[in-house]
């Protein structure tokens, strides 16, 4: 009898704890929803620092939670329905991915537009736990990645009373690194953008308040990726003093592209924990493509 009572008490306590956790998460989402962008499309371009080549382009639709990111290494498109497409930066290469879960890919958005990432949290697209309201206002919460990237520690995020992500830390007692989030003065209204990501600086950013009709179009994202590949090839050619032919983005391989070792900042391993090292990720899809090149 006593054992039954003990079990009943334990189950009741677990249910109570679960309800409290759900209430805290709901409170966080309501709080974030007051501050995060809910309409409009933001698009941004990050360029490599002097002496390097390579650009990255990002886009986020605040109304739907869809986003893309492209570079000379590849492209990723996350549709509003949760479908992830990835591929190399050539026309016809963007295909549905079975390797990457939507919430894991969504973490990549934090690396260039934290408010956009918080919008995904508020939408319930990204699972969080350990939600804690801060005395000075704002929240602290944890994002887990272990369902998709088992060797990567969770990240603890702090959002201030104005709904701005200010600090990110590794949830790893053996290596508790943390970093403040640095935003760019070039950020457009309503969308705070990081000053730097993956060794590249924010160059341009624009907001389309009415949205972009073909934002989730495979053809559009593939075209952006192909152009990024060509732009990078041209930069490499200029750096090497050579010339470049066959630079039509619709072409396959770019003829005459010079081979310049380490011409762009390296992408080593996955980027999850690199947030707090000042080195950030590229895209969940790119992470998997380059994972064999080395680990942090």
**149 falls in which pLDDT band (50, 70, 90)?**
low
Domain assignment present for residue 232? The answer is no
Q: What is the pLDDT of residue 257?
A: 39
Number of domains in the chain: 1
Kindly compute the dihedral angle of the four CA atoms of residues 141, 145, 147, 150, in this order, to the nearest 10 degrees. -130
Q: What is the pLDDT of residue 98?
A: 78
Give mean pLDDT, residues 176-202. Answer: 93
Q: What is the pLDDT of residue 143?
A: 87
Q: What is the pTM of this model?
A: 0.78
Domain assignment present for residue 252? The answer is no
Residue with the bigger pLDDT between 274 and 243: it is 243
pLDDT, one tens digit per residue, over 249-284 is: 544 433 333 333 333 433 333 343 333 333 333 333
What residue numbers bound the domain in which 181 lies? Answer: 19-215+261-293
């Amino acid at each position: 009898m006593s054992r039954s009572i003990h079990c009943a008490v334990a189950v009741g306590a677990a249910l109570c704890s679960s309800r409290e956790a759900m209430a805290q998460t709901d409170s966080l989402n309501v709080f974030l929803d007051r501050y995060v962008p809910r309409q409009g499309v933001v698009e941004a371009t990050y360029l490599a620092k002097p002496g390097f080549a390579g650009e990255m382009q990002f886009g986020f639709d605040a109304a739907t939670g869809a986003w893309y990111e492209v570079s000379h290494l590849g492209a990723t498109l996350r549709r509003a329905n949760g479908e992830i497409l990835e591929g190399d930066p050539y026309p016809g290469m963007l295909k549905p991915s079975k390797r990457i879960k939507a919430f894991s890919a969504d973490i990549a958005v934090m690396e260039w537009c934290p408010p956009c990432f918080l919008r995904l949290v508020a939408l319930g697209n990204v699972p969080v736990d350990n939600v804690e309201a801060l005395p000075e206002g704002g929240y602290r919460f944890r994002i887990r990645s272990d369902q998709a990237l088992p060797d990567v520690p969770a990240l603890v995020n702090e959002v201030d009373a104005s709904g701005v992500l200010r600090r990110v830390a590794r949830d790893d007692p053996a290596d508790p690194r943390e970093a403040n989030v640095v935003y760019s003065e070039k950020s457009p209204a309503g969308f705070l953008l990081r000053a730097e990501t993956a060794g590249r600086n924010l160059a341009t950013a624009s907001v389309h308040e009415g949205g972009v009709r073909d934002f989730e179009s495979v053809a559009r994202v593939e075209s952006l990726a192909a152009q990024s590949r060509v732009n990078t090839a041209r930069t490499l050619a200029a750096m090497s003093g050579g010339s470049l032919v066959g630079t039509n983005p619709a072409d396959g391989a770019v003829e005459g592209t010079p081979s310049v070792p380490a011409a762009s900042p390296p992408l080593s391993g996955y980027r999850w924990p690199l947030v707090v090292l000042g080195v950030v990720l590229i895209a969940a899809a790119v992470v998997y493509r380059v994972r064999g090149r080395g680990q942090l």
